Structure 1
Amino acid sequence: MTQDPHQGLIDELDALLDQERAVLTEGRLEALPALLGAKEALIDRLNALDDMAPDRLHPLRGKAERNQALLDGALRGIRTVANRFSTLRKIRSTLETYDSSGRKSALLQQHDNKLEKRA
């Protein structure tokens, strides 16, 4: 039985996709840039191989799609938090009231965040 010379690269990418999933599910997003660089390098090496059939990578497609869904979910979560913080900042700087006819009006607070030093 002959050893496949490309199986090592395929196994490396498989392990990297598993590692990427672990990072995403554990919320360690700071580790993603390093993994992305390694993943791009592996994919480039695999793409450079002329004698490998594309269907050999088909089993990894499911893992890559799963990780993409996890990454999309993390991005949605980050956007939700950013929007919530923006809303909270807006609430802190304005006071919305209603007049006697039911019209909404906003009172803007002027924050002067300077430290005054007195002798």
Structure 2
Amino acid sequence: MNAKIFLLLSVVAVAAADRRPSFSYSAPRHSSEESGPAKYNFQWAVNDAPSGNDFGHQENRDNDNTQGSYTVQLPDGRLQTVKYYVDGDSGYIADVGYQGEARYPDSDEVRSYTPPRPKYG
């Protein structure tokens, strides 16, 4: 009698082990945050006269139409302005312009770089 119960339990164990768990794989759920077309605008600028830093960026986007510009103060004294746009599949189209005249120091005015002394305190 024990052998019959043992055999029955063995068959049940084998049948249970053969069963694979059922997992359902599907595409990720769509987030409502990503459902609308891209639309934004921003602008920032830095103008620090003592250090000579003058740069900024502005951009507007409405769906596939993006346009903007950025400016950079170059080491030679000119201000470089880049105006750009992207309209769908047209790619990045840029118009680069410069304001001012390039200035280069005379050889007597060129100084060598000396790193600042560390301050502990």
User: TM-score, structure 1 length as denominator?
Assistant: 0.25
> Which structure dedicates a bigger proportion of its chain to helix?
1
**Larger RCO of the pair (alpha carbons < 8 Å, separation 6+):** 1
- State the structure with more CA Rg: 2
> Which structure dedicates a bigger proportion of its chain to strand?
2
User: TM-score, structure 2 length as denominator?
Assistant: 0.25
